[in-house]
Amino acid sequence: MSGSPRIPAAPAPAAPPPPPAMATDQAAPSSLLWSDGLPPEFAGLVIRRLPSLADRTRFGAVCRRWGLAAQQQAPTLPAPLPWISNFFTQVFQSFPDGEPHELQRHSRFLACRGLSESWLMFVRPGSCAQSRLFLKNPLSGATIPLPGNFRSADDHRLFNSDFATIRKFIVCSDDDLIVLMARGCPYPPPLGPLIACCRPGSMSSWSTATYVAQESDYDFHYQDIAFHHGNVYGVNGTGDLYAHNISEDSGTGEMVVSHAKQVIKCSDAWFGMKLRQFFLAVSRGDLLLVKWIDDEMFTSSFEVFKVDLEMSRWSEVSSLGDQVLFVSGMCSKAVSTSSDGDYLRGNCIYFMDYDRRGAKGCAMYDLRDNTYHKIHTPQCRSHEPAWFFPHK
């Protein structure tokens, strides 16, 4: 009888072989890893390759053993990469990935006037009974109250009139000293930069000094200051360098800042429309001047000089070696790449750049071949972004 051909049935799948017996005295590799934890030498290799403070914190939060390993490695770790900070709004971003960091903010009645490495400076309202100025580390929560009293009535008048124009402050931890620079009062008599210093404490007071400008330099002010070998150095817009000596009153123990003394006079060739800004930084015992220049195509370039006080001149520096300079208006710092975990390139300058529209971002200038490199990080659209060096 005819009919449709029958499709043969598929053979039944073979049963999988039984798994081999595991020796009873041998644990699974994954169990061995998590029970014994990451060996300290491996933990050190891993965490040293994490340049971000946020990543190091996450590493320590994985488990108790990793947290212990992070604590053991902490004293020998290189400093983490700085953050980009808009100190007016207390907004922070990691460099170079732009990861935002939300830190606890102060009351809207407190104004943030600047930063210095890991410290922020706040000003309380004028009617507040407490000292108007104080410093705070936003990561550790540590605070430093600053004195509210002054040496004379004139100091009080000048200092309070310049609260809104604080340009920079320096925390000299080794010398137990706070140095502050503000722009001078624009009203007659014309006053140049105001330099103030104090030792933190309720019984201390501010010592101030100003530069009384002449009619020919009515707009005189410091573009940057640095503390070096017991002196506060200030550089103006033509590259002239001034020194303020910091000493201690033998009777009261208070700090005393001297009036400005010019130590370097630059030639007129340094002054021109191409100059963008001067920065001061201390690197391995030397005071450096960083000169930021714009060419005809608005491309940034840099030159670095070292102070020569014996000859009263700036000597050009051909190479920074394994040093890296982070420069910004509020905070500039030299960092060594010899122990940084190989995530920085030596002999370079990292800076806050901006285009014609005013959008702020980061860039790097390589002194080895004099080339400019834009760093693709989320732009920090702030009034004046600055480098913040996170440290608890």
Q: Are 281 and 317 in contact (CB under 8 A)?
A: no
Percent of the chain with pLDDT over 70: 69
Burial string for 44-66 (b: 16+ CB within 10 Å, else e) reads beebbebbbbebbeebbeeeeeb
pLDDT exceeds 90 at position 287: yes
In this prediction, residue 40 has a pLDDT band, given cuts at 50, 70 and 90, of: low
How far apart are alpha carbons 163 and 186 in whole angstroms? 14
Provide the token pair at 135: 């410093």
pLDDT at residue 342, rounded to an integer? 62
Assign 3-state DSSP to the chain and report helix, strand, coil percentages, each to 5.
15, 40, 50
DSSP reduced 3-state for 31: helix
In this prediction, residue 23 has a pLDDT band, given cuts at 50, 70 and 90, of: very low
94: buried, middle or exposed (CB in 10 Å: 19+, 13-18, 0-12)?
Answer: buried
378: buried, middle or exposed (CB in 10 Å: 19+, 13-18, 0-12)?
Answer: middle
How far apart are alpha carbons 226 and 241 in whole angstroms? 11
Q: 54 or 32: whose pLDDT is higher?
A: 54
In this prediction, residue 317 has a pLDDT band, given cuts at 50, 70 and 90, of: very high
